Amino acid sequence: QRRVHGGFCAHEFILDLRPLKRTAGVEAEDVAKRLMDYGFHAPTMSFPVAGTLMIEPTESESKFELDRLIEAFLSIREEIREIEEGRVSRTNNLLKNSPHPAKLLTGEWPYPYERERAVFPTRYVKEHKFWPTVGRIDNVFGDRNFNCSCPPLDSYM
């Protein structure tokens, strides 16, 4: 643990994924979206440093959940290694197509990898799957065309 002034521990860490863009074409967004397939909420991306993920496993997380997060990161690293070694496509792979929502379970499977590997990457996930409701969206379009469906502020007063 990293100790800071006064003996307190930092509650977050930053993963620098920038080298993976060069070696595998993988960006922070790809890893964040793949974490959703493992049942984790996508972490903060590119803050405070572009091309990084800020992970905040708070003090309330159990050792089991922390171990599960580590298992997910190790598994994702192996998926990235497959790209680096040329065993899978740089543009059509588990990370670039993540997350994989439930609607992909039926019908034609459009990807060159196994469906089960995409949606059930670990034994725990197979038994306790939390399904993303949608696949990858166009984040830039969403940021530029924000549409709030909330009731007007007056309705809260």
Res 1: pLDDT? 47
CA gap 100, 105 in Å, rounded: 9
Please state, in angstroms and rounded to a whole number, the distance separating the CA atoms of residues 53 and 50: 9
Give the contacts of 120 (CB within 8 A, at least 6 positions apart).
126, 129
| CB distance 113 to 94 below 8 Å | yes
Alpha carbon of 43 to those of 130, 146, 156: distances in Å? 16, 21, 30
User: Cα Rg for the chain, rounded, in angstroms?
Assistant: 18
Q: What pLDDT is recorded for position 8?
A: 63
Instruction: Tell me how far the alpha carbon of residue 125 is from its chain's centroid.
Output: 14
d(CA 41, CA 56): 11
Average pLDDT over residues 44-51: 88
If one compares 137 and 104, the residue with the highest pLDDT of the two is 104
What's 47's DSSP letter?
S
- For residue range 51-93, list pLDDT tens digits in order: 999 998 876 788 899 999 999 999 999 999 999 999 999 999 9
pLDDT in tens, 90-121: 999 999 999 999 999 888 999 999 999 999 99
pLDDT digits (tens, 9 = 90+) for 123-135: 999 999 988 888 8
Residue, of 23 and 106, whose pLDDT is higher:
23
Which pLDDT does position 5 carry in this prediction?
Answer: 62
Indicate the pTM of the whole model: 0.84
